[in-house]
Amino acid sequence: MEFKETVNNRHSVRDFKNQSISQKTLTEIIKLAQKSPSWVNSQPWKAYVAMGDTLNEIKNEYVKRASEKGNPDFPVMHRKDWSLAAQENMQQWRHDIVHHFPNFDEAHEKMSSASIHLFNSPAIIFLTIPKNSSSWSIFDVGSFAQTIMLAATDKGLATIPNYTSVKFPEVIRQRMNLPDDETLVVGISIGYPTDTTINTFQSKREPINDVLKFKD
Ligand SMILES: Cc1cc2nc3c(=O)[nH]c(=O)nc-3n(C[C@H](O)[C@H](O)[C@H](O)COP(=O)(O)O)c2cc1C
């Protein structure tokens, strides 16, 4: 796939086929993502892949706790505390995704169900950084995550980075045997996309002139 096509094809998919991915393919993806830049090549990231019975156990626990408030390692900031520009983009996204469905109830039902069932993906890649990390490591693990998602797209796979799968970190810690000195950053659900409505949504981007400024 051409680079531009790979970047344009990547988008968040919220429903996956019941089709497993080989450990070989996942290893190739993570190996490529290891080429990501990091502060003094510190490579603070680790990737833990949940599949098969382990992932089913995680999904069952998450379904049981669906009505509980999450307590992720990275706290979630209330939407009113974000910058106004970010709040507007988030509102626009909510409006657009709801209007992608025939009506509000269906949008709500499909989005909630996808989230509760961890998007039905056959694998989730959990990313961690050490607890004693510099803030710069968040930048580094972000680069690592984006390269994982692009490498997956290049192989015809789909992904969604998500908070949903890390909202109960104690469950992931226990099931994945995460070391105590690592912070759970994000989960990347990965697999082959179904052709359901939820997956045909394409989020918008701000006009380039609002993002890019030149000065001679
Ligand atoms: C750190 C992070 C956490 C996210 N968590 C969720 C989530 O819990 N549920 C969800 O539906 N989407 C989640 N997303 C996906 C975003 O909604 C999505 O990336 C954004 O709307 C842009 O759309 P795109 O990925 O299709 O380009 C998350 C994205 C990021 C980067």
Among residues 144, 191, 136, the alpha carbon closest in space to that of 22 is found at: 191
Residues with CB under 6 A from ligand 1: 11-12, 14, 93, 115, 160-164, 186, 203
Among residues 163, 198, 181, 175, the alpha carbon closest in space to that of 70 is found at: 163
Indicate whether 14 belongs to any domain.
yes
Number of domains observed in the structure of the chain? 1
- Atom of ligand 1 at shortest range from CA of 201: 26
| Residue-range definition of the domain harbouring residue 41 | 3-77+118-202
Indicate whether 186 belongs to any domain.
yes
Which domain CATH number covers 169? Answer: 3.40.109.10
Indicate whether 214 belongs to any domain.
no
Indicate whether 207 belongs to any domain.
no
132 Cβ partners below 8 Å, 6+ apart?
A: 181
Report phi then psi at 184, rounded to 5.
Answer: -85, 120
Indicate whether 94 belongs to any domain.
no
Q: pLDDT, tens digit, for every residue of 14-50?
A: 999 999 999 999 999 999 999 999 999 999 999 999 9
Indicate whether 104 belongs to any domain.
no
Residue whose Cα lies nearest atom 4 of ligand 1: it is: 162
Per residue, the 3-state secondary structure of 90-149, as one string, reads HHHHHHHHHHCCCCHHHHHHHHHHHHHCHHHCCEEEEEEEECCCCCHHHHHHHHHHHHHH
Indicate whether 208 belongs to any domain.
no
Mean pLDDT of the 54-64 span:
98
Among residues 192, 166, 190, 188, the alpha carbon closest in space to that of 178 is found at: 166
Q: pLDDT, tens digit, for every residue of 134-193?
A: 999 999 999 999 999 999 999 999 999 999 999 999 999 999 999 999 999 999 999 999
